[in-house]
Every structure is written in C-alpha cells, then in structure tokens.
Copies of this chain bind each other. A is one copy, B any other.
Amino acid sequence: MTPHTPSPVTLNVELGERSYPIHIGAGLLGGPQWLTPYLAGRQVMVVTNEVVAPHYLERFKAGLPADLEVRELVLPDGEATKTLEHVSRIWDALLEAGFNRRCTLVALGGGVIGDMVGFAAAGYQRGVAFLQVPTTLLSQVDSSVGGKTGVNHPLGKNMIGAFWQPRAVLIDTDTLVTLPPRELSAGLAEVIKYGLIRDADFLAWLEANMAALRALDQAALREAIRRSCALKAEIVAADETEQGVRALLNLGHTFGHAIEAHQGYGNWLHGEAVGTGMLMAAELSRRLGWLSEADVARSRRIVAAAGLPEAAPAAMGVDDFLSRMRLDKKNIDARLRLILLRGLGDACLDDQTPPSLLEALLRDYPRS
C-alpha cells in the first residue's frame, strides 16, 4: 500500500440496537468484505441516478456475492427528483420484483438518493434493511449519520420522511474524483460546520489542510470525513430524534434555506448557502458580543479557502429572508430560533435575539 492509498478506517455510530459502522477509505467500492455482512437476505436492490450509474454502478455490483438476486433502479439526477412520486417508483419496483421483508436496499449516490432510498426502506413492508454508499462529500459527511430520510413537498423541503438508520455506510473516497469541484466545496461547508459548532482543534486542522482536501489528497479526505462523521455521531447519539442538541447541526441552515428557497433550489447549492449562512450567524454572534472580529475574520477565511461564497445574493432584501426563515421547521409555534456561536467550536440554540438586531444584520450583511 503506497502513501497515496491510506488504509481504511471504521467508525461506529452508537445507537443501541440500531448501531452501525461507517467504513471510510480509498477504493472500498467493489470489495465484498465491506458489504456482505450487512445484507438482510438474498434480495438486493441498488438504487442510483443517471449521473452516478455510468461511473460506479458496475464497480459496485462487481463487489456483490454471485448468489444474490440483484435488481437496479436508475432515477433522474437532482433535487427535483426528491419527491414522493419517485419513492413510490422504488416501492413499485420492489413489489414488481416480489421482494420480501428480508430484502436490502442500497443507496448509491448523493444526498437525494440517500434520503429517498432510506425513506423507501423505512416504508416498505413497514421497514427493511438499507445500506448507504454515498458518492458526494456532502452526503458522506452529512446524511451518512443521523438516519434522517425523506422527500420534499411543494410546500416545503424534507417535510415528509422518517428516522431510519442504515445497516452500514460505505464511503469510498475515490468516488470524489468524479465530483465537480463546486460540489466538493459545497461538501466542505458542512465539514467546516462541524469544526465551528463543536471542535476548535478540527477547525485548526482544516485551516492547515484545506488545500490538500481540495486537491483530493486521499489521506486528508479520509481524516476530514472520519472526524466529521464522528462529531455528528456524537451529537446524534445524544439526541436521535432532534429534541435538543441535534438542532446545533443546523448552524447556517436557517439563513441558508432562505437563500436556497429565494434563489430557486439548485441555483445556489445547499452547501454554498450553508457556507454563507454560517458567516451570517457568525456576524450576528459578534454583534451579540460572543465572537471577536478576529473570530469572524477567521471564519470568513476558511469559508473562502473552501471555494465558497461569502456574500449573500444581491437581490435578497430583509423581507426575502424573514418571510422564508419563519417557515423553517425548527420554529416551534412560530418562535424564531437560531443557531449561533458563543465561540469558535461552541454553538448554541438561541431564541432571545431581539428581532431588531436580526433585521439590522439582514440589512447590513454584504451582498454579492
């Protein structure tokens, strides 16, 4: 093994009976030892999309034991695919194939595929096994941990879904070589997020390794993914169904969702909007006296180093933000809650910020 193909690592997500391993490394796809132990029975359905299939579907299938009944379903690419209608197509395919309760679904692709296949597994015959094989950095560090599955509704993102844990997650860092650089940057936004909310040491590590990550250094990628998943797993284990601390994972997301919704989904990538949203949260935290100017400048430098936008969209006014922020799923009984920073590496849930301070931030924050 050369220095360029570091050995795989395994992280366990501890959730009692629902615990599962995340295997991370270069070249795992196609190695049967990473998958076989987690199959529930002989029936396996691999669900992927039109962009991922040409790159990885055959390589994945080559790693499955020969005596299985393997089906595949290739869906269209993109966030617009994340609908109940497409999940219903997965259910149709499972029933047409005569798949029983011991079947296994495999999600081969990014977050959209993972969310849909997880929800399909949660609802098929009241719950069957599924494996996640995330092929984008965002899905590797975000949806690999936490069991959130679901689809969008015309009236809101992720409004229909379930908490459903995979049996195992297989992350092959080699798959990132085919990922467009803009999507790599979007994934790095979530990686930076873990440092900002919980781990100042990791933030410093990221500052030192950002260039290596963007150059797809496999050892650096493995380490960034491992630490991100470990941080998320620690939070999820403490709060599986998001009653408390798990909300901290939404740092940057209330602002970010407003940007995504205003710009039209897909025009700003989720990670891009989260990157800018985190900087807006940092600036608001500074105005509350919690962060220093130097802290905010450091946050901006690392977001910029990841290749992410710092400024909010030029066309968005204060009301464009506010109207969309109030629709956010976290706002129980119409009270606006924000995730802010008490320090770098120390996020908190806040519902005491005066509306005037928030409005001033939305007015003053730099636009592109």
Q: Which residues of A does B touch, CB under 8 Å?
A: 41-42, 84, 88, 91-92, 95-96, 100-102, 119, 122-127, 148-150, 153, 155-156, 158-163, 241, 329, 331-333
Contact = CB atoms under 8 A, between A and B. Distances in A.
A146 to B, nearest CB: 11
Copies in the complex: 2
A336 to B, nearest CB: 13
A158 B123 CA distance: 10
Contact of A159 (B95, B150, B160, B333): B95
A332 B95 contact: no
A153 B41 CA distance: 23
Nearest to A126: B161
B332 A100 contact: yes
B100 A163 contact: no
B159 A124 contact: yes
A125 B124 CA distance: 18
B126 A163 contact: yes
A100 B122 CA distance: 22
Contacts of A161: 123, 125-126
Given A84-B84, A84-B88, A159 B125 contact: yes
A329 B127 contact: no
B95 A241 contact: no
11 contacts: A41-B332, A42-B333, A84-B84, A84-B88, A92-B153, A119-B123, A123-B160, A123-B161, A123-B162, A124-B160, A126-B158
